[in-house]
Each structure stands twice: as C-alpha cells, then as structure tokens.
Structure 1
Amino acid sequence: MRDAMLRDLRTLPKAHLHLHFTGSMRQSTLEDLAQNAGVRLPPALLDSDPLRVPAGARGWFRFQRLYDAARACVRSEADMRRIVFEAAEDDAGEGSGRLEIQIDPTSYAPLVGGITPALEIVLDAARLATEAFGTEVGVIVASSRMRHPLEARTLARLAAQHVGEGPGTVIGFGLSNDERRGDTSAFAAAFAIARRAGLASVPHGGELLGPAHLGEVLGHLAPDRLGHGVRAVEDPALLERIMAAGVALEVNPASNVSLGVYAQDALVPLRALVDAGAVVALGADDPLLFGSRLVAQYETARTVHGFDDAALADLARSSIRASRASSTTRARLLTGVDAWLAAPAPGDGSGDHGV
C-alpha cells in the first residue's frame, strides 16, 4: 500500500552538481563511439552490472583504467558535443532543472587544438543544450591531482576567462582524481586564482580518505562545496567545522559503494549527515561506471535510508540552493519543489471528493 502513496521522483525539481563529463556517457553512446573509432572496449564497460572494486590503490587503478578506456573513445568535437547534449537530455528527463557538469579540458585538448577550444566547445554545447532541453547547464573546470600543480593554475586562469552565472559559462573550479595522490597545499594557488574570479571552489575530498585529509582540503582550498565529503561523519568536530563554514556536501552513494568505501548502500552515512544538519546535494558522479543516474540516488535515499517525501524535497532544495544556478532558475525550481510536495500523493484519495 505504501508504494501507491509515493510521489514520482522524476518530477521532483532538483539540481545535479556532481557529474563528470566522460562518466556521464550513456553506455549506448560509448558503444557507438568505440565502434566508430575501431576501439575494443573492456567487457566491464559493456555489461549492465555496476562497477565494484575494493577500496585502495588496486581498486582505484581498475576504476581509472576503465574510465581512461571510455575517454579514449572520444575522438572529435562532435563526440564532445554529443556527450554534453545527452547529459542534459538525461538530466532533464529526471527532473533536474540545473546541471553542473565537470570536465578537465586537458584530456580533450589534443582532439581540437588546445585546452581553450576544448573548453569553449563544451561551453557552447552547454548553452545550446540548455535551450534544447530546458535544463540550465553550467560547467566546472577540474584539475587533476595526477598532474603538476602549475597545470592547475593554467586551468584556473582559463576558467576565470569564462566565468558567469548563466548557461554555458564556467561556474566553479575543482580538483579530482585519486585523493591519495598529490600535495593538496600545492593546489592552493590555483584555487586562489579561481576564487578571485568569483568561481565556486568545488574540490573532491572525503571519499577515499578520511577526516585528516578533509581538514587539509578545508584549510588549503577553502571549498564552497566538497565533492563527496561523506567521511566527515567520522569526526563530529570536523563536520561541525564544515557546516559552520557553509560548505555543502555532494554525496554520491553509488560511487561510495562501487569504489568500496562502504560495503552496501545502507552503510553510506546519508541519514547521519542530514540529521547532523549538513547541506547535502545528491549526485551520480559517473553513471557510466556506477550504473545509476541521479534519480536512483534519490530512490536509494527513499528505500534504503527511509527518507519520506518531505525529506526528499528538502534534499532537492539543498541541491538547488548549493548550486550556482541563476536567481531565476533557483526561484523557479524551489517553487516547483513546493508544488511537488503540496500535490496529493498518488493513491491518497485527497483529490477525489465527488460532486
């Protein structure tokens, strides 16, 4: 009986703040690109099972190897535009009124003549996708911990040249890849460049490593949002510090389980973080590898963590408020969340009063 009372999560307005460019690809698109490029894909990228690897260096190596194999199938500007368009289309179909997609243009620069055209292609595709699907698409430029920090400064300067609030602009600067690699403090100068330009600071942290590393990220990179951040729950004082600073957490339950951080969905500390008062925005991270998109994360919150519709609406509101959406889009989405929750749940009979 309870199932009949549930509102459709696909119609819940929300913002999607943690989605990687290559990892956003549909499996069917990856297969098309691989065929066009004459590339033989690893079987793990072709089956329907989500990736499952052990926590640690060996697990990350397998994840990264598969990610690199998918990225190697992207061979042209047309491929890049297709990925952006399909990501926006898929998010629009799941009720996302705002998408902030993350890309390291360095990875695609050889295809199109440099990092500047690589970024500008994505920005133009984001603008056109916004017009096509109605989901406002902003872009996060992300540096990699695996590259030299001077390259991060170059990317931050490039990102700063395209800063904006509307669709097809750069709204944030991130730091991704294996948290165990690189010296966090060495990337502080790049983040300072980005902050001076008005970009949101959105580094990864607190998934593969725990509170000590999160403290370094907070101290050196001054995040507005943390990509993941779930391990903050292990240190109540650190979590209080995060909340006091107004830092939102981009929680990606499927990623946490796929990468072996938690053995099962029920162990992801989503409920603990929300109950503590943290600002949480659910994300899908890399659905190509982890096998589930944004609505699936909300479904996990509902079925595994016991969030009722009011709590799910609060999660959606948190994602919208933590976004860099335009003021018009923010207001529209928040109004939509209120309407979603105010509407009678299917099967409750509240709209059937006879005549």
Structure 2
Amino acid sequence: MTGLMRLPKAELHCHIEGAVAPGLLHRLANRNGIRLPTAMFAPDGRYAWTDFSDFLDAYDRASECLRHPTDYRDIMYEYLMACAAEGAVYVEVFSSPDHAAAVGMSYAGHLEGLAAGIDDAFTETGIIGRVIVTCVRHLGPQRAVEIVGSMKAEPHPYVVGFGMGGDEHRFVLADFVPAFRLAHEAGYACTVHAGEVAGPDSVRQAIDLLPVSRIGHGVRAAEDPRLLEDIARRGIVLEVCPGSNLALGLYPDHASHPLPRLIAAGCRVTLNSDDPPFFGTSIGREYAAAAKHFGLSEAALLRITETAVDAAFVDPETRLSLRQQLSGQSVRAH
C-alpha cells in the first residue's frame, strides 16, 4: 500500500447486505440455486438501478440470495478483507435480521455466519469487525421492539449496537422511542438514519427523542445552522457517506456536498461507504475522494479515523488497542 492507502481507516456505516460484490452475489446465487434477473446488472457487470426505489429493490433482491449462515460468513469475510487491503483497522457493519428472516434464517443463524467472517478476517489481517443490528423503519415500531427483544434474548459479543435504516418518510421517530429505549437500557449504543432523504427536522427529532450518540448520514443538517451548532455542542457524530449521497442524487457533485460545512461548524464526522458495490465506492475511495475533492490533508483524514475510533460502539480494551495503533501514525501525519 502507498500514500493514502497506508493511512489507517475506520468505518462505522456500511450495510452488510449492501456490501455483496456482484461476483460474490453470482457465486452465492449459483450455490443456492437462485436465478438473478439480467436487468439487475449493467453490461460491465456492475449493479444496475435508476433511482432510490429501484436501488432498494436491487438491494432486497441481493439479500434474497443469503440463505445460509455460510453466505453471511463469506460476505463479511470478503468485505473485511477488502477493507483491510485499503488500510482499514476497524469496521462496523449494519445487519438486518429482517432480511435474514425473510428467507427463513434465524437471528442466531445469521449472527453465526457474520461472526465466522469476522474471526477469519481478523486471523488473516488483524482487522476488527463488529455488528450493529438494525430494524427496518418501514416495517414499523412493533417489529423494531421485537428485534431488540432478539438482541436481549440472544446476546452476542460482536453485536455492539442498535440502529434503524429504511424509508425515512414512513412513520415518525417518536414511534420508535420504545424500541430505542429498550436497546439503550439493555446497554446497547444507538445510531439512526436521519437527514439523508429527509430534511434537517429528521435529525432534530433523532437527537431530541432517541438515545443516540451518532446519526447515520445527517448531511441535511447543514441546511439548519442552529441544528449544526447543537450537533457540535452535544458531540453527536455524523456517519457521512459522500459517495452514496452523490450516487443517489442528493447532491450533483462533490462541490455541492456539505461535508466541508459540517467540519467548519465543528461537527464530528466520519467517512463511510454505505452500500459500496452499489455506489461504486469503498472506504479507501471515500478517503481518497475527501483528499481530492474536499482538500483534506492526511492529518485531517487521520483525525477523522480517530473520531471514528472514539465513536465506535466497542469495548474499552479494543478502543485502547485501536488508539495505540493510530498514535504512531498521528506523529508522522502531523
């Protein structure tokens, strides 16, 4: 590795079901006897979709190929190995038990596969992986409570947090207070998607109503200066995914993206890939793009990694170990 690839990186926002590279998806489909629709792929082999709704359909179709714990193992292993090759030392992934349940896999089964992938990648590279279990917003608040119930009934050492993705326009965040309260009281750190397709008020509701220390995306907060001040004052960390935002048409180009404004306002930010093969990105590409398009120096990028490690939903011993890995880099970068 050279240049920015050597810089230690940490990722806090990636959906494991959306991290399946097309080549791996074809292998999983063949292994499980599933025929993938031709229209799902472009002529060059990449995923093909036209808008946010079409992307969600493609995402769900890809998830339907994950039928066994070993499928989740292979996804996690290959994703972590790819991240390690780009300099990542720590990765948290979102995993949806609802997608596993849709194909008949148990909560414990899908975690068994994820844990095997985490262990195998750690053995080979030293990269540390952890899991944030997520509910799906448009499946409703009762289902969210049930997901937390599974987390409490079947605790796993690699499950470090609770979150929520899905359609931001369905239900209101107040509906999910019971689920987030249960998770928080059970000792799980919390994050929630807000301020991506919905506006700044969704971020305001999230930080006022839910016990969250991080916001998934949160970029629309840039439209409300007072909200930015509050986010900075409260130390809320934003899991920013510029490549995803551009791919989904939230912003036309890097010059329009609010990341520099978020940083200038004193917000704590991290860089993330979201659903990397769907959006043509990776954690390494996100760091490289931040250097190229936002003018961030290696020292500034290292501070972003340090923010991610500080905000990670990880035990104190692991956090200390990660900080020690970064400490030597900090001197050289500055």
Give how far 1:128 is off.
4.2
Instruction: Work out which of the residue numbers 242, 247, 256 in structure 1 matches 2:236.
Output: 247
Summarize the Cα distance change of 1:344–1:65 in structure 2 as closer, same or farther, 3 Å threshold. closer
2:28 — aligned with what?
Answer: 33
Summarize the Cα distance change of 1:263–1:49 in structure 2 as closer, same or farther, 3 Å threshold. farther
User: Aligned with 2:11: secondary structure?
Assistant: strand
Alignment RMSD, CA only?
2.3
1:24 is aligned to 2:19: yes
Summarize the Cα distance change of 1:265–1:35 in structure 2 as closer, same or farther, 3 Å threshold. farther
Instruction: Work out which of the residue numbers 73, 76, 97 in structure 2 matches 1:84.
Output: 76
What is the 5 A alignment of 1:36-75?
A: 36=31, 37-46=33-42, 47=44, 53=50, 59-75=51-67
- Alpha-carbon separation, structure 2, partners of 1:212 and 1:75: 38
Summarize the Cα distance change of 1:311–1:113 in structure 2 as closer, same or farther, 3 Å threshold. closer
Give how far 1:124 is off.
4.4
1:11 — aligned with what?
Answer: 6
User: Aligned with 1:191: secondary structure?
Assistant: helix
Summarize the Cα distance change of 1:42–1:193 in structure 2 as closer, same or farther, 3 Å threshold. farther
2:134 — aligned with what?
Answer: 142
1:168-192 CA deviation, whole Å, 9 max, x = no partner? 5211111101211122111110000
Give how far 1:64 is off.
0.6
Q: Which runs of 5+ in 1 are unaligned?
A: 1-5, 54-58, 346-355
Q: Which runs of 5+ in 2 are unaligned?
A: none
Moved more, 29-38 or 18-27: 29-38
Quick check: 1:144–1:152 contact (8 Å CA) kept in 2?
yes
Quick check: 1:145–1:176 contact (8 Å CA) kept in 2?
yes
User: Aligned with 1:204: secondary structure?
Assistant: strand
User: Aligned with 2:113: secondary structure?
Assistant: helix
> Percent of aligned positions with the same letter in both sequences?
32
What is the 5 A alignment of 1:71-150?
A: 71-109=63-101, 111=103, 113-150=105-142
Give how far 1:115 is off.
2.5
- Alpha-carbon separation, structure 2, partners of 1:20 and 1:72: 15
- Alpha-carbon separation, structure 2, partners of 1:75 and 1:104: 13
- Alpha-carbon separation, structure 2, partners of 1:227 and 1:73: 26
* Residue type of the alignment partner of 1:119: L
Greater relative contact order (Cα < 8 A, sep 6+)? 1
Quick check: 1:163–1:198 contact (8 Å CA) kept in 2?
no
Summarize the Cα distance change of 1:342–1:106 in structure 2 as closer, same or farther, 3 Å threshold. same
* Residue type of the alignment partner of 2:146: T
1:139-197 CA deviation, whole Å, 9 max, x = no partner? 10000011121111111122234557xxx521111110121112211111000011011
* Residue type of the alignment partner of 1:182: F
Quick check: 2:194–2:218 contact (8 Å CA) kept in 1?
yes
Summarize the Cα distance change of 1:200–1:313 in structure 2 as closer, same or farther, 3 Å threshold. same
Give how far 1:75 is off.
2.3
1:197 — aligned with what?
Answer: 186
Give how far 1:35 is off.
3.2
* Residue type of the alignment partner of 1:172: G
Larger radius of gyration: 1
Quick check: 1:202–1:226 contact (8 Å CA) kept in 2?
yes
Give how far 1:232 is off.
0.7
1:281-333 CA deviation, whole Å, 9 max, x = no partner? 11100012001100111111100001111111111111111112343433343
User: Aligned with 1:22: secondary structure?
Assistant: helix
1:45-71 CA deviation, whole Å, 9 max, x = no partner? 353668675xxxxx3211111111211
User: Aligned with 1:178: secondary structure?
Assistant: coil
1:279 is aligned to 2:268: yes
Residue correspondences, number = 332
* Residue type of the alignment partner of 2:8: P
* Residue type of the alignment partner of 1:300: A
1:198-253 CA deviation, whole Å, 9 max, x = no partner? 11111100110111121122222231110000111111111122222221000000
* Residue type of the alignment partner of 2:258: P
